[in-house]
Structure 1
Amino acid sequence: MTIRIQEHIWIPMSDGTRLGARLWLPEDDAKVPAVLEYIPYRKRDGTRGRDEPMHGYFAGNGYAAIRVDMRGTGESDGHMADEYLAQEQDDALEVIAWIAAQPWCDGNVGMMGKSWGGFNGLQVAARRPPALKAVISAYSTDNRYTDDIHYMGGLLLNDNLWWGTIMLAYQSRPLDPEIVGDSWRASWLERLQKLPFFPALWLEHQRYDAYWQHGSVCEDFSDIEVPVLAIGAWADSYTNAVPRLLEGLKTPRKAIIGPWGHIYPHDGVPGPAIGFLQEAVRWWDHWLKGRDTGVMNEPDLRAYTSDSVAPEGTRNFTPGRWVGEAQWPSPEIGTTSFQLGADHGLHTGTAPAGQLSICSPQSHGKAGGEWMGTGCVGEHPTDQRLDDGGALVFDTPILADAIEVLGASVLRLKLSSDKPVAQVSVRLSDVRPDGSVTRVSYQVLNLTHRDSHAEPAPLVPGQAYDVAVKLNDCGYRFPAGHRIRVSIATAYWPMVWPSPEAATLTIDTATSRLDLPTRSDTGDGAVSFAPPAHGPATPLTQLDPGSVKRWSSQDHVAGTTTYVTEGIGGLFGEGILRFDDIGTELSHSLKRELTIADNDPLSAHYKLTQSYEMGRDGWRTKVDTVTEMHSDLTNFYIRGELTASENGAVVATRNWDQVIKRDGL
């Protein structure tokens, strides 16, 4: 089916604001259902390379596909003050009503998105707009506090500053004069002056309060009444919500979890990628066109179970197989328990009792890889032996039979701390016959949040507590001849910010155990996917391949470790690009430097240096930023500076310098 594209259209809001959109339509004039993607990342040039083959595919299969920039982003009017605000949802309700009333729409609308668009698809569904009939939510969460880029286990993710810094550049990009005309400069300068200091906004809320509860659909799953297809990925960071959505939603729902990073599954890395667009069309045909495509006959959960893989930082393919669980929670998944032993073993029978203590070096975590995989080189966890030297390690005997896990493992500990604020990091690993160690899952927990993320409480030094650490969901097959390892530490740098004092944890092994969600191999049914399909690609030229580098170094005089990642030209390895049909060139570089001394958590220092350039001949803009953070016993200190330039001349500067009190963190 041939399609036609409208490069830019305006969607009017009731308050006079206009939102910019890009539209793909079937060539004929028939009324068709619409698929909406509603995000802040610039449909003109930010996500153009990804949008074209996806939305073009939908249009080629009989849908109106529409990509809308949120208020205050791209060429859309207004101001974006923060993420997931009520205003964002209110605008979406108007957008959906506007779409349903258009002459090319038959009144049925589906909403889909990845990450931000996956979040707001669920959030808008909870508002129940009449024309919204189904949702596809990829790499999102039902809980904005526990499973987003700001906090993990009640601890501050260092990606909070990374993502906040990227948002400074993203939301400082100018409006395109080819779309808005001569008003672009005044609107750009106004946008720069209103730009919030994103990382500080999020750092001010260190517990699960009303700020995070807003937009967390787990507060009341029954608010969502439309069917939901949830997508997750093991190398991504937004997978834990998928089983919760399957369990919590009462509406028709299905889920797919693959081996990929934070990339739509038809482009998924590490592979195998799948025919996700075909699956999406099956979903839309069923719920928007009323055709029985068989999509609701699929298992509740289709998941990729990984085979054992070597602990290499770069991986383009993950060996394994697709399995299906007819319902979730699955009666085919039981629990296999291992008792922790004072002999550092994991035992299925009686284990030697005793108490073991650990105070990890503050640089523990260097082999952890990225919190969120995006398909870049070097982002996966490397050999865990590098970190196991700073942890308590417990191993099973060599496995006589394979063990397949699917779901969330739980480590149940009886522990005490010598400090009122402490953290624990837990890793589940595959010890291979050659001695190398592959991380399978992990989790961190702020022990002041042991009972509640909403009402944390300090520890009483020396008092024993029962603590359950629920690890990230995973699908993995431990082969016969390997060992299963659990590692316990008191830091996980550079992924999370350290506690204010170096704490020693003491584990009572007699009442501590590991529970694995073990899957019965009862025959997996016919779980398979078509190969990836794409619509026509946008004309694109890579002007420079750029580079991505990752390294760590240790100063044996000062006792400090520095961890560095640097993307030059393209933040995620894409290099410097030109979108040929609009003549726009993009270059995005960012360097992260995280330094800490092994014996001093207050030595932690984080600096990010960033540059974003875009434009075309005669119109060149650049945004440079520097952000930094450190802390003492009571406060975080976070600062930032931004410089915006047009054709080499500085047109605006911004500076932020904030002190934010630590709240049990």
Structure 2
Amino acid sequence: MPEFSTRNPGPGYDGTAEMVRWFNHWLKDNDDSDDILNELDITLFVRTSLTTGRKLVEQALLESPMSTAEKENNDIDIDVLPYRPWIGFEAGSWLGMLTGDQRPYDKDCLVYDSDPTQETIEIIGFVNVSLQASTTAHLAHWFVRLEDVDVDDQVSLVTVGAINGAQLHTPPAYLEPNFRYTITIRLHFTTWTFLSGHRIRVAISNAMFASAWPTPFPMSTSIYLNPSVSFIDLPVVPPIYPSSIPPSFTQQQVASSDMLPQLFSASKPKVYQKHETDIGTTITFEQVTYELLSNGCFISGLLAWDFICSHLDPADVRWVTRARQVYVFDMHGYESIVDVPLKDDNERLYPNVDLSTRRHFELVTDLVKHSDQDYFYVHLKRQFLEKNDTVTCQQAMTFVFNGKHKRNCH
């Protein structure tokens, strides 16, 4: 979120202050916020890459932008996509995170490239995609990514959209195998500048692991390249020249001197990796965070998970998660979180202080979720541990839950 102090990449701005001004005017009739009516209607950051762009403001809301459709010319071709439920790591663990080169993902997808652009093309808005598709199974997901292929063939993710095939029916229902469906997908709102010489790419897949739980049936899907029903509609806008000098982005700009790590909050770098064998793919994640509150409470947290997908059975998926939170009180006298010494062990969650004189406790959560073709299974265990030191447990409270849920169009 923009109000986080560790804003990288920028631009940095105070999103919280902007929301407070808006609510003060419209919900509290605060006269001090009347100037909000005199501001420009739109402030946009139009991206030229994943981390760069330009600021753009307009006096009035944009009307429906001009659109262009990139269509295949052959109305009889059919492209077949084998289902690989374990692909998608390169698109991130959640939609919207900063991503890298998409080529390792694209090699297992259906990709369609335009010719190199002869001029700069700028898009602002929602990207709409229409597909005529079929599947050999009762259920399939479709993921569509809009990408930018630069002159060195580096591929950047611009925006993405997805649909569970069961949502083509109302109410949701399983698909009819080998039936041709017309699927419309609205990709997330975006801004982007395709520079001259770049290619516009559309990549289609049936999996985006680990953002989405895979569908359970072996299958293949087909895309029918009929230009009347299979196309992409880009919200292309003509060259826009600001009607005035853009204000700070937004109106509450954060000074560069303030764009530093918080004194009382810190973390280790996130670990996000893929491990692949002939029989399965595992995505691993680990993060450790630290907080030092003004009342002298030290809090550390570990979140780690493994997301495992079989290459032999798409229904065999497992998510194994472990979380630990440590609370230590009476941690006074430290000017910042970096001054707190940590015990030299593998996880480095406890401060290296005399714990026998300080109240402290630990909350541990273990969660396993796995699936087969018929059910989801959940195993949850939570423990509250109050300790005399890092080893001796004075009191333990444990909660255990085991359950299963019938798969229904998932």
TM-score, structure 2 normalization:
0.83
Counterparts of 1:633 and 1:449, CA distance in 2: 19
Aligned to 2:220: 504
Q: Is the 8 A contact 2:375 2:405 kept in 1?
A: yes
- 1:87-98 → structure 2 map (5 Å cutoff): none
Counterparts of 1:421 and 1:532, CA distance in 2: 47
- Count of aligned residue pairs for this structure pair: 368
Counterparts of 1:592 and 1:447, CA distance in 2: 28
Aligned to 1:407: 125
Aligned to 2:390: none
Aligned to 2:168: 450
Aligned to 2:337: none
Q: Is the 8 A contact 1:424 1:446 kept in 2?
A: yes
Distance 1:635 1:281, change over 3 A: closer
Distance 1:442 1:609, change over 3 A: same
Aligned to 2:9: 270
Counterparts of 2:225 and 2:58, CA distance in 1: 34
TM superposition shift of 1:400:
0.6
TM superposition shift of 1:663:
1.3
What secondary structure does 1:600 align onto? coil
Report Cα offsets for 1:280-333 as digits up to 9, x if no partner: 565466454314643223343322111124xxxxxxxx21112235444x3261
Are positions 1:550 and 2:272 aligned together? yes
Match of 1:609 among 319, 322, 336: 322
Distance 1:284 1:508, change over 3 A: closer
Counterparts of 1:539 and 1:550, CA distance in 2: 23
Distance 1:443 1:483, change over 3 A: same
Distance 1:520 1:486, change over 3 A: same
Distance 1:292 1:619, change over 3 A: closer
Aligned to 1:90: none
Opposite residue 275 of structure 2, the aligned amino acid is S
Report Cα offsets for 1:557-605 as digits up to 9, x if no partner: xx2111101012x1xxxxx2322x3110010001010111234211211
Counterparts of 2:263 and 2:148, CA distance in 1: 42
TM superposition shift of 1:421:
0.9
What secondary structure does 1:397 align onto? coil
Distance 1:416 1:538, change over 3 A: closer
Opposite residue 548 of structure 1, the aligned amino acid is K
Are positions 1:323 and 2:45 aligned together? no
What secondary structure does 2:315 align onto? strand
Report Cα offsets for 1:98-150 as digits up to 9, x if no partner: xxxxxxxxxxxxxxxxxxxxxxxxxxxxxxxxxxxxxxxxxxxxxxxxxxxxx
Distance 1:661 1:263, change over 3 A: farther
Aligned to 2:155: 437
Counterparts of 2:152 and 2:262, CA distance in 1: 47
TM superposition shift of 1:370:
3.0
Are positions 1:578 and 2:317 aligned together? no
Are positions 1:296 and 2:37 aligned together? yes
Q: Where do 5+ consecutive residues of structure 2 fail to align?
A: 331-357, 388-392
Aligned to 1:619: 359
Opposite residue 371 of structure 1, the aligned amino acid is W
Opposite residue 611 of structure 1, the aligned amino acid is R
Opposite residue 264 of structure 1, the aligned amino acid is E
Counterparts of 2:63 and 2:220, CA distance in 1: 39
Q: Is the 8 A contact 1:304 1:323 kept in 2?
A: yes
Aligned to 1:564: 284
What secondary structure does 1:296 align onto? helix
Counterparts of 2:261 and 2:6, CA distance in 1: 15
Are positions 1:361 and 2:84 aligned together? yes
TM superposition shift of 1:278:
5.6
Distance 1:583 1:425, change over 3 A: same
Distance 1:385 1:420, change over 3 A: same
Counterparts of 2:5 and 2:271, CA distance in 1: 26
Counterparts of 2:268 and 2:112, CA distance in 1: 42
Aligned to 2:381: 641
Aligned to 1:43: none
Opposite residue 380 of structure 2, the aligned amino acid is G
Opposite residue 639 of structure 1, the aligned amino acid is H
Counterparts of 1:365 and 1:538, CA distance in 2: 31
Q: Is the 8 A contact 2:383 2:398 kept in 1?
A: yes
Aligned to 2:306: 593
Q: Is the 8 A contact 1:282 1:293 kept in 2?
A: no
What secondary structure does 2:37 align onto? helix
Counterparts of 2:46 and 2:262, CA distance in 1: 36
Opposite residue 292 of structure 2, the aligned amino acid is R
Q: Is the 8 A contact 1:266 1:532 kept in 2?
A: no
Are positions 1:514 and 2:236 aligned together? no
Q: Is the 8 A contact 2:365 2:380 kept in 1?
A: yes
- Relative CO higher for 1 or 2, CA cutoff 8 Å, sep ≥ 6? 2
TM superposition shift of 1:518:
1.2
Aligned to 1:426: 144
The CA RMSD over aligned residues, in Å, is 2.5
Aligned to 1:475: 191
Aligned to 1:486: 202
Q: Is the 8 A contact 2:2 2:15 kept in 1?
A: no
Counterparts of 1:469 and 1:636, CA distance in 2: 27
Aligned to 2:113: 395
Aligned to 2:396: 651
Counterparts of 1:490 and 1:623, CA distance in 2: 38
Q: Where do 5+ consecutive residues of structure 1 fail to align?
A: 1-261, 310-317, 342-349, 374-378, 571-575
Counterparts of 1:327 and 1:457, CA distance in 2: 43
Match of 2:253 among 531, 538, 559: 531
Report Cα offsets for 1:451-481 as digits up to 9, x if no partner: 44xx112211111111101111111111111
What secondary structure does 2:54 align onto? strand
Counterparts of 1:522 and 1:578, CA distance in 2: 47
Counterparts of 2:232 and 2:75, CA distance in 1: 15
Counterparts of 1:296 and 1:285, CA distance in 2: 12
Distance 1:307 1:404, change over 3 A: same
Q: Is the 8 A contact 2:87 2:209 kept in 1?
A: yes
Counterparts of 2:33 and 2:48, CA distance in 1: 34
Distance 1:589 1:263, change over 3 A: farther
What secondary structure does 1:481 align onto? coil
Greater CA deviation, 609-618 or 520-529?
A: 520-529
Counterparts of 1:594 and 1:442, CA distance in 2: 22
Q: Is the 8 A contact 2:6 2:261 kept in 1?
A: no
Aligned to 1:632: 372
Counterparts of 2:125 and 2:303, CA distance in 1: 35
Match of 1:333 among 65, 68, 71: 65
TM superposition shift of 1:264:
2.0
Distance 1:664 1:327, change over 3 A: farther
Distance 1:307 1:359, change over 3 A: same
What secondary structure does 1:331 align onto? coil
- 1:172-183 → structure 2 map (5 Å cutoff): none
Counterparts of 1:298 and 1:370, CA distance in 2: 37
TM superposition shift of 1:552:
0.9
Opposite residue 271 of structure 2, the aligned amino acid is K
TM-score, structure 1 normalization:
0.52
Counterparts of 2:11 and 2:94, CA distance in 1: 21
What secondary structure does 2:105 align onto? helix
Counterparts of 2:235 and 2:261, CA distance in 1: 44
